[in-house]
Amino acid sequence: MIDPLDHLQQRLDHRFADVALLERALSHRSLGTRNNERLEFLGDALVNFVIAGALYEIRPAAEEGALSRLRASLVREASLARLARDLDLGSVIRLGESELKSGGFRRESILADAFEAVLGAVYLDGGFEVAQRVVRRLFAPLLAQLPDAESLKDPKTRLQEWLQARSRPLPRYEVLAEDGPAHARRFSVRCSLPDDDGSGCIAEAGSRRVAEQQAAATVLAMLEARDHA
């Protein structure tokens, strides 16, 4: 039966000269002070740099803002956790007893952090050229399915740009209500347009920011529907 660490190294297409580095990268802070946090820090910087370089090549006409949005869509917790699952990191992450009992090996934040830590370990073990090759190979499926950068803008930004393009005043956001206990607050927010009395849309969410985004998305959808009517 193949050793789990050997299997991981096969998936990475990198054989560690110092396997202790890989073991450290897979050690969550719940185990104690010899954990993967420093390697995660290194891996985070490595991934951001390598993906920035890849995007610079793939999208030669894209402006800085578009490249930043694309990178953020790739180097985010959900994307990193997905790639960690592809490597089956959950089966080899070393967790403290409390995290193990709570199913920490399935938690996206733990998977994403371990993924970055493993890449940091690859860099220390094999150097930049090796680490860059590993990062680009692992991210290849995501890079091949890049969305349009415009679609990555948040609803408030898209609504603002839609209005500015038509020389219309900016929207107003008003908190109508805030209820619930401290650990489960609910916000009710209205987004309205100063020059359109029938534009007000209300959204509820667990944070003011999310409620504003949802309300803005509804207003924008309404305006776009009017345009196409």
CATH number of residue 176's parent domain: 3.30.160.20
Q: Which residues contact 122 (CB under 8 A, 6 or more apart)?
A: 12, 14, 16, 130, 131, 134
Could you say which of 116, 146, 176 is where a domain stops? 146
> Residue 173 belongs to what H/E stretch?
strand 172-179
Number of domains in the chain: 2
Please check if 113 is assigned to a binding site: yes
Tell me the β-bridge partners of 148: none
Q: For residue 116, what are the CA distances in angstroms to 71, 151, 154?
A: 15, 26, 26
Q: Can you tell me whether residue 69 is helix, strand or coil?
A: helix
Same domain, 67 and 170: no
The answer to whether 62 and 55 are in contact (CB under 8 A) is: yes
Could you say which of 94, 124, 146 is where a domain stops? 146
Could you say which of 127, 146, 165 is where a domain stops? 146
Which residue segment(s) compose the domain that 209 sits in? 155-228
Q: What is the largest CA-CA distance in the chain?
A: 70
Q: Which residues contact 187 (CB under 8 A, 6 or more apart)?
A: 175, 177, 178, 204, 205, 206, 207, 208, 210, 211
Catalytic residue among 13, 37, 116, 150: 116
Same domain, 43 and 124: yes
Same domain, 81 and 109: yes
Please check if 116 is assigned to a binding site: yes
44 is catalytic: yes
| pTM recorded for the entire structure | 0.71
∠ Cα 201 205 209 (to 5°): 80
Catalytic residue among 44, 99, 125, 212: 44
Same domain, 79 and 44: yes
Same domain, 176 and 123: no
pLDDT in tens for each of the 229 residues of the chain?
678 899 999 999 999 999 999 999 999 988 888 999 999 999 999 999 999 999 999 999 888 988 998 998 899 999 999 999 999 999 999 988 877 777 777 789 999 999 999 999 999 999 999 999 999 999 999 999 887 767 667 888 889 888 988 999 999 999 999 998 887 889 999 999 998 877 789 999 999 999 998 999 999 888 888 877 6
